[in-house]
Amino acid sequence: MLALLVEARRVSGLPAAPADAGFGAHRHEGGRLSRACPLACLQLSTRVRNALRNDRNCTAKTVGDLLDLLWSRDLHEVRLMGARGVREVHAELLAAGFSVPRLG
């Protein structure tokens, strides 16, 4: 099975490591979502993705970056994120098995 995956990757010409750490295509290291994963690994709405991408002050590229933003409450300051966006990120990170702060 692994050989098949390696072969498929070789044929499709995909690089072994993600070239774009933000929203590009990627396979989890070890097959599991981790802090090192790009934001693309989370099931986020287009609205939230655009808010993260378009705010010049927001440099979050990985799941870990997003977790840190949530904990520091800086996520609330991201332009166009809004309370709904924060709740969505919170729910997604919780569902992914990460420890998240209480929303209040």
Please identify which residue in 9, 28, 53, 73 interacts with Zn ion, judged by CB under 5 A: 28
Please count the residues of the chain.
104
From the CB of 104, what's the least distance to Zn ion, in Å? 30
The whole-angstrom separation of Cα 85 and Cα 12 is: 35
Please identify which residue in 39, 41, 42, 75 interacts with Zn ion, judged by CB under 5 A: 41
Answer whether 93's CB lies under 8 Å from 70's CB.
yes
- If binding is defined by CB under 5 A, does position 40 make contact with Zn ion? no
* Count of residues interacting with Zn ion (CB under 5 A): 3
